[in-house]
Chain A
Amino acid sequence: MATVMESSAVEELTGRVHTADPYDYTHEDVRDLQIKAINERFQQRKDQIKLLRHRAEEAGLEEVSSLEDAAQLLFPHTAYKSYPESFLIDQRWDRMSKWLDTVSTYRVPVDKVKDAPDVDGWLANLEREGFFVSCSSGTTGKSAMLVASAKDMEWVKVEAPSAYAWGSGTTLDSDRQMFGMAPVAYTPRNHATGEAYVAKLQDPNAGRPASRAPPTARGAVTKGAVRRKKAGGAPAPPPERGERENPGAGRPKFADAAVGPPAAALSGRRPRRLHITGLWKGLYDVAKEVRDRGYSAKDFNPENTIYVGGGLKRAKLPDDYREFVYETFNIQPERNYQNYSMQELHSGMPRCQKGNRYHLPPWVVPLVLNKEGDALLPIRHEEYEGRAAFFDLSVDGRWGGVISGDRVNIQFKPCACGHKGPSIRDDIARYADLEGDDKIGCAGTVDAYVRGMS
């Protein structure tokens, strides 16, 4: 395993999470150190991660001596959902474990984890052995399975609140009432960051954090997909029929009960310093109800903070939905925490308070590619557009280099907020959404229209 000497560049960069302002650096200052750190990671991992070794052999790389080299070793985000779906559907946990092993830094003890009644059981077995797997719902229906180590879980507990404090201009003083208004998918990573937020934000005298939505079960999303898929072959047995078109049926109908009670609770806690989290649609509906009850900005604490996850998720809201929510809860513009991250990374890029830009910490190396994702764009001082790809030096349990599906505008010149590090404009879009059009062909998959197949 790695000695202290070998990990020096990685540790020097990730160690900056403990400094007062890790985002204040110039690209030139860290460039060589970042390349050195990526190479350290590469030397450690190339014989540990099977997929990485394959990539390295294909590229003919023995070491990383430039960002161009690093770009050749990035994994597409789809690498974490490349398992054959039949393994999941047929609950072949030995096979799933073997697949997971091809993308994991540490060897998955197949025999110790393979005996499980369902996906939750398998994930629990893995967790017991120190493999923390976060499943994404995935837009295509197939879950990405991101494996992480205990060290990763410790890291996100430190990094997430620290990025929040920087982005919202607040201190972590355990002096807030936390108020969650969106169901959060259970993943080990979300759980770890959630715990860390409570530990550092929630006022212990204010009781338990108020959450109106229980997290979805660990493998709920995955199970739903499996159930629908299975139903495609033969008719589902009667007991399964009722829920098979509605994988969330077991969960309380959050949407229906989501407006009145939280609005009442928020109205009752008006003077408190609140930290509100949620998705836009839910936040907007609750804000509207709070207004209907006769409350607005003047009634709420001016130090309130908000963290909104995700985009609009296709919800139809009035054009001024953001302003409406901020004004209802008296959220000052600089107290609105925005963060650009993805399940594939273990670090976030908090938005600054003046420039409307997401700032990269020095341990996340930007490798912005062309739209096709097959060539590194030359780094320019001025802003330019490309496909987001990053090397997150903090990632331990799998490879830290990943290509996203996002279109970003990045610049390496100083931001209006005064910070000199690389930053991304807050108008990130998914290429898939930009490209979507009415394509029709005569060749297609059965999934395209036979119900129950996907």
Chain B
Amino acid sequence: MNTITDLKTPEASGEAVVSAPFFYRGKLVEGSDQTHRSRDLGVTFATHAEGLDAAVQPRTEVPPLLNVPTTEIIDFLVETGVRIRDPKNEIFQDCIDRMCGTHILPREVVANQAYYATMMLDRQRLQAELDQNFPDPRALDEWVPKQDFTGRKSFVRAFAPRLIHVLPGNSPGVAVKSIAHGALVKGVNLFKMSSSDPFTTVAILRTMAEIDAGHPIVKSMSAVYFRGGDAATESILMRPQYFDKIVGWGGGDAINNLIKYTGPGLQLVSFDPKTSISMVGREAHASEEAQELAADLASADVMTLNQEACVASRFQFVEGTEEEVDRFCAKLHRRIAERAAASGDVRPYDMELKEAIETLSFLDDEFRVWGKPDGKGVVIRSEEPVDFHPINKTANVVRVDSLDDAVKWINVATQTVGFYPFDRMADYRDRLASGGAQRIVHLGEAGPSTIGNPHDAMYPLHRFVHWMAHEDGTIND
């Protein structure tokens, strides 16, 4: 590592200016040329003015990781995970302190998320990702010989791509994952951090630089912050001369903004914002025990990362009579409230959302509300999904006569569908996929996923690489 600046401890006060250094292929650069506001808590952070040249590796230089075997990359990532989890890792402890100043979740939740995220930096898991994403993962390490039925020969390579990752800020897991994926495909990576987390990515990269500052992985990674939508910076960086793909998170304005820069030679791989739901069949009302179980499983999905994550369930379509569904709602509310109390999360409730839910409680011939919109857990029963986005421990149970009636509410923004009972899942999966959904899981298991499975309806690593063919003529015999 060329320079490591001593980092000032962030001050506790809400208006303190927190330093957010940039990372350029192994070099840490800190500055206070520019200050930026972070969302939610109104914290200001300072960065140096971006030096765009340092963030871009010329195409005349072959990507540094190209001929580093994937096994060595995996070794390095595994060691990175160990170092991040090490409580003596000052870089990372300091990062969590800084993040708590700019993050909407409590410190413990933030720290746990970061540690949990590093669990993916496991040898078997990383290998499985490669094995699932590529029909022949050797193509990452070498030019794989091919021959077609006419006898024509060639070599194919999953060539190291140049990627600019536009990261979200709601989960440190995305930072870990993006770095791991960027390394596995041997890419030249520039991470554009979010204002709500301008720290984690750099902390991971610094931890990597401590392992071996000269390693090609470290030389393949840069992380900067600029304000999303800053056309002066983006229009210079986001060009096909510099990058093959923009890996974009977010939706609406964020993605529409990135689309402006895409075109021939510069493609978009987008991870859209998602909403997840639950579907609960009438079998859940067969007995008190069954209902208790289904409500508990549903509450686990609602409360995934305290409902901040895309896999967290927001709408629960429950089959049954109003009386049956109301009994389910009461149990669901109790379970959510228990989990909310245990989490210690006491974020204030959004005023507009509170207003909307209170109004529904006045219209009690059509809606029913369990609990209060106070951040301690609330359940709303309605005949159609409510028109607001349930967040901060809010569940909207939609009563349906048949789960068939729930299918029309599925769309491309529906990521995960938690389903009960499990033996009816096969009956629904085709229709859910047709509607746009991307995962169907056992109710209560929104969080875990099979290692190497597709994400947001694609195999991302396969899409990241630059598929290159070397044609080698025909053998005539």
Residues of A near any B CB (own CB < 8 A): 50-51, 54, 76, 78-79, 82-86, 95, 98-99, 102, 142, 233, 372-374, 403, 435, 437-450
Instruction: State the CA gap A411–B110 with chains docked (Å).
Output: 41
Tell me, rounded to whole Å, the shortest Cβ–Cβ distance linking A437 to chain B: 5
Tell me, rounded to whole Å, the shortest Cβ–Cβ distance linking B219 to chain A: 27
Given contacts A51-B362, A54-B362, is CB(A441)–CB(B273) below 8 Å?
A: yes
Tell me if B166 counts as interface (CB < 8 A to partner A): yes
Given contacts A98-B363, A446-B275, A448-B252, is CB(A440)–CB(B168) below 8 Å?
A: yes
Which of B39, B271, B351, B389 is A373 in contact with, Cβ under 8 Å? B351
Chain A residues closer than 8 Å to B42, beta-carbon distance: 435
Tell me, rounded to whole Å, the shortest Cβ–Cβ distance linking B290 to chain A: 30
Cβ–Cβ contact B359 & A82, under 8 A: yes
Tell me if B33 counts as interface (CB < 8 A to partner A): no
Cβ–Cβ contact A449 & B251, under 8 A: yes
Given contacts A78-B355, A449-B255, is CB(A440)–CB(B250) below 8 Å?
A: yes
Cβ–Cβ contact A102 & B362, under 8 A: yes
Cβ–Cβ contact A442 & B271, under 8 A: yes
Q: Which of B93-101, B150-158, B307-315 contacts A (4 or more CB under 8 A)?
A: B307-315
Instruction: State the CA gap A46–B126 with chains docked (Å).
Output: 63
Chain B residues closer than 8 Å to A437, beta-carbon distance: 36-39, 195, 227-228
Tell me, rounded to whole Å, the shortest Cβ–Cβ distance linking A168 to chain B: 36
Among B272, B308, B362, chain A packs the most CB atoms within 10 A around the CB of: B362
Given contacts A95-B366, A443-B309, is CB(A82)–CB(B411) below 8 Å?
A: no
A-B residue pairs in contact (CB < 8 Å), sample of 14 = A51-B359, A78-B356, A82-B358, A437-B37, A437-B227, A440-B167, A441-B310, A442-B310, A443-B170, A443-B310, A444-B252, A444-B272, A446-B275, A448-B272
Tell me if B404 counts as interface (CB < 8 A to partner A): no
Instruction: State the CA gap A238–B172 with chains docked (Å).
Output: 46
Q: How many A-B residue pairs have CB under 8 A?
A: 142
Tell me, rounded to whole Å, the shortest Cβ–Cβ distance linking B348 to chain A: 7
Cβ–Cβ contact A442 & B387, under 8 A: no
Chain B residues closer than 8 Å to A373, beta-carbon distance: 351
Give the size category of B's interface with A. 35 or more
Cβ–Cβ contact A444 & B195, under 8 A: no
Taken residue by residue from 377 to 392, chain B's Cβ proximity to chain A (1 for < 8 Å, 0 otherwise) reads as 0000010101101010
Tell me if B441 counts as interface (CB < 8 A to partner A): no
Cβ–Cβ contact B355 & A445, under 8 A: no
Tell me if B196 counts as interface (CB < 8 A to partner A): yes
Instruction: State the CA gap A442–B221 with chains docked (Å).
Output: 23
Tell me, rounded to whole Å, the shortest Cβ–Cβ distance linking A387 to chain B: 11
Top 5 A-B residue pairs of the complex, sorted by shortest distance between their CB atoms: A444-B273, A438-B228, A440-B250, A449-B251, A441-B170
Q: A435: nearest residue on chain B (CB-CB)?
A: B39
Chain A residues closer than 8 Å to B252, beta-carbon distance: 444, 447-449
Instruction: State the CA gap A354–B352 with chains docked (Å).
Output: 38
Tell me if B144 counts as interface (CB < 8 A to partner A): no
Cβ–Cβ contact A372 & B348, under 8 A: yes
Chain B residues closer than 8 Å to A78, beta-carbon distance: 351-352, 355-356
- CB under 8 Å from chain A, chain B span 413-437: 413-414
Cβ–Cβ contact B170 & A50, under 8 A: no
Given contacts A437-B195, A445-B389, is CB(A84)–CB(B360) below 8 Å?
A: yes
Q: B360: nearest residue on chain A (CB-CB)?
A: A84
Given contacts A102-B362, A440-B194, A443-B310, is CB(A76)–CB(B227) below 8 Å?
A: no
Instruction: State the CA gap A85–B384 with chains docked (Å).
Output: 11
Tell me if B143 counts as interface (CB < 8 A to partner A): no
Chain B residues closer than 8 Å to A374, beta-carbon distance: 348
Which of A82, A372, A447, A448 is B356 in contact with, Cβ under 8 Å? A82
Chain B residues closer than 8 Å to A142, beta-carbon distance: 387
Chain B residues closer than 8 Å to A438, beta-carbon distance: 194-195, 227-229, 254
Given contacts A84-B387, A86-B387, A450-B413, is CB(A439)–CB(B355) below 8 Å?
A: no
Which of A51, A83, A95, A448 is B273 in contact with, Cβ under 8 Å? A448
Tell me, rounded to whole Å, the shortest Cβ–Cβ distance linking A235 to chain B: 14
- CB under 8 Å from chain A, chain B span 97-118: none
Cβ–Cβ contact B275 & A445, under 8 A: yes
Tell me if B169 counts as interface (CB < 8 A to partner A): yes
Instruction: State the CA gap A190–B359 with chains docked (Å).
Output: 27
Instruction: State the CA gap A99–B348 with chains docked (Å).
Output: 26
Given contacts A439-B194, A440-B169, is CB(A445)–CB(B413) below 8 Å?
A: yes
Cβ–Cβ contact A54 & B358, under 8 A: yes
Tell me, rounded to whole Å, the shortest Cβ–Cβ distance linking A304 to chain B: 40
Instruction: State the CA gap A442–B272 with chains docked (Å).
Output: 7
